[in-house]
Amino acid sequence: MNFRFKELVLSVSLTALTVGSAFSQTGSGLSSEATLDDLINYALSNQIEVKQAQLDREIGEREIASALSGWFPQINANGSMTHFMQLPTANVNGQNIAMGQRNTAALTFQADQAIINPGLFQASRAAKYIRQQNDLNLESSRINTVVDVSKAYYDILTSEEQINIIQENIARLNRQYTEANARYETGLVDKTDYKRAQISLNNANAELKTAMEFRKYKYDFLKTLLGMNPSAAISLSFANQDMESNVLMDTTEVVNMANRVEFQQLQTLKDIQELNTQYQRWQFLPRLGAFANYGLNYRNNNFGDMFGNNFPQSSVGLSLSFPIFQGGKRIQEIRKSELQESRIDLDIVNLENQIGAEYSAAMANYRSNINEWRNAKENVELSEEVYNTIKLQYDAGVKTYLELMTAETDLKTSQLNYLNSLYAVLASKLDIQKALGTVNTRD
Give the number of other CB atoms < 10 A from CB of residue 181: 17
Q: Using CA atoms, how far apart are residues 354 and 369, in angstroms rounded to an integer?
A: 22
Give the pTM: 0.81
Span 193-202, average pLDDT: 86
Residue 28: phi, psi to the nearest 5?
A: -80, -15
- pLDDT recorded at residue 12: 38
Summarised one tens digit per residue, pLDDT across range 206-234 is 999 999 999 999 999 999 999 988 888 88
Residue 29: predicted pLDDT: 66
Residue 265 has pLDDT above 60, yes or no: yes
Nearest to 362 by CA among 436, 263, 273, 256: 436
pLDDT of 291-346, one tens digit each?
A: 999 999 999 989 888 898 899 999 999 999 988 888 899 999 999 999 999 999 99
How is the chain split into domains, by residue range? Answer: 5-83+102-436
Residue 19 near residue 221, CB atoms below 8 Å: no
Distance separating alpha carbons of residues 136 and 270, to the nearest angstrom: 14
Are β-strands 95-98 and 89-92 bridged in parallel, bridged antiparallel, or unpaired?
Answer: antiparallel
E runs forming strands in 196-267: 234-236
Tens digits of residue pLDDT in 91-130:
888 888 888 889 999 999 999 999 999 999 999 999 999 9
User: Picking from 27-36, 75-84, 221-230, 414-423, which range would have the lowest pLDDT averaged per residue?
Assistant: 27-36
Q: What is the pLDDT of residue 248?
A: 84
What residues are paired with 18 via a beta bridge? 235
* Average pLDDT value for residue range 431-442: 89
- pLDDT tens across 235-253, in order? 887 765 567 777 888 888 8
Please tell me the CATH code under which domain 5-83+102-436 is placed: 1.20.1600.10
Angle at 395 (CA atoms; ends 391, 400), nearest 5 degrees: 75
3-state helix, strand, coil in the chain (%, to 5): 65, 15, 20
**Mean pLDDT along residues 131-137:** 95
Q: Binning pLDDT at 50, 70 and 90, where does residue 193 land? A: confident
Q: What average pLDDT is seen over the chain?
A: 87
What pLDDT sits at residue 14? Answer: 36
